Structure 1
């Protein structure tokens, strides 16, 4: 029988984070959840309350605890990463950062990007930027994650993984509102603004994302890894799946050269190469296979 692991999840109270916690519990792992205390964690976990952006608060909450693995769902800035690295060095055998496809925002490649296209060792870190300003952070989300990865990559004796997550869809608890945005426009026939050249992107289902993180907890590889289902999807693909779920609706697209466009429509390529994770042993599913299910899950309440 496999020995139960001590796993710390920082954040993780919603979407694929809560699904990860459920998988860890089902596997018999001992789970500790650390958050600000604004929402209760699932039953059966140890709950620690702290401000993860405050070193004293984080240190005090952890006490003398050590962990086999830490999964950090809410590290958005290099400042938060610096604190986590200082506090958790020597307390965990492995640290898993939930990162993002947005770290590739400066890459201009039609081919799917590989992890080596953004090596965190080469990324500069600027702790002096206004990372505590919510507006700045919102407009620099990808850069915050890039620099957070760089902080962990610079840490000696700190085995880390940066899971670069594709755009996540599915579930009846999708809080982003992106699919419901499209559904409302498909229902009414309201034009959907997209770029003149609208590039496809990589996606992953919320359950597959939780599976991937759970799998990662049990592995020993380090460094960045892309997490994306096989194949690309366009805005037109998403809206076609929604229109099939809402047969009285119609997807009408408006191509705009300048101005705001719809969510999940892109002026640049957003494809990720998932071959590293595949070689390491994870089996992704094709995005087109789960897309109808994701639409039904997200929009089922609106039928």
Structure 2
């Protein structure tokens, strides 16, 4: 089976910002981008993106999950990167139009249609290291995907890194490629050195996030995660999981916590740690690796609360439970 996110639909939606306005959106061939080698994005990383999914329900209808929140975050990322302001209504229509065109290709659960809106600076100006691109392109690319953990999910191993950080603290809430690039080398090193799946970045002992997911803890009836600030990504899946936890009667606590607290917490029986993200949804963490020592989290296996919350989210996405939060946008 093809790797997650490596198969694409042959067409995409695209619009360009030139002369202070967005062009009419068009559906074009997915391999039709032409760019000047001096384009701002290639030299100064003026780029951001989103990841969201469309799901097929049993009646054949297709629904996009939390599109409004992803578009709001794309608008925020664009502003913080000084890219041209996006037209949120236009982007929503582009997403709906291209998903509708390929509605028949949306896989059955647990598969989905992964949707990747991307916005980047196109102005040919290598002298603009300290100035924004005045032109840009925004496209919406589709990728039919299966389950992220096709071989079955297992509890993950995380290396706690107190010296590095995922990205510059003021950049953390921007969903930009550069942030993922900066986390790549430490993540690869952690895999090679201690067989870790991810690095949990904890600069100066402050627990933040991994290279590609938010981090959550469960202690009895309480779910705990770091309070939102500019240093890490404001995950849509994170937000959804916290809402569902509250629906289930759990206490939701958003606060800062340290590596010392985390390791003390991990030693308690029955606790759970989890990563949340669009691709992996919600995945248990079984082992924390710190200063050469391995610390089992609770049982060290996939936790029952993680399974319960993941199932609750999937049931809404797949149309098997009522959409009480109005998270779904029906396309066909």
* TM-score category, normalised to shorter length: under 0.3
TM-score, normalised to structure 1, is 0.26
Larger relative strand fraction: 2
TM-score, normalised to structure 2, is 0.24
Larger relative helix fraction: 1
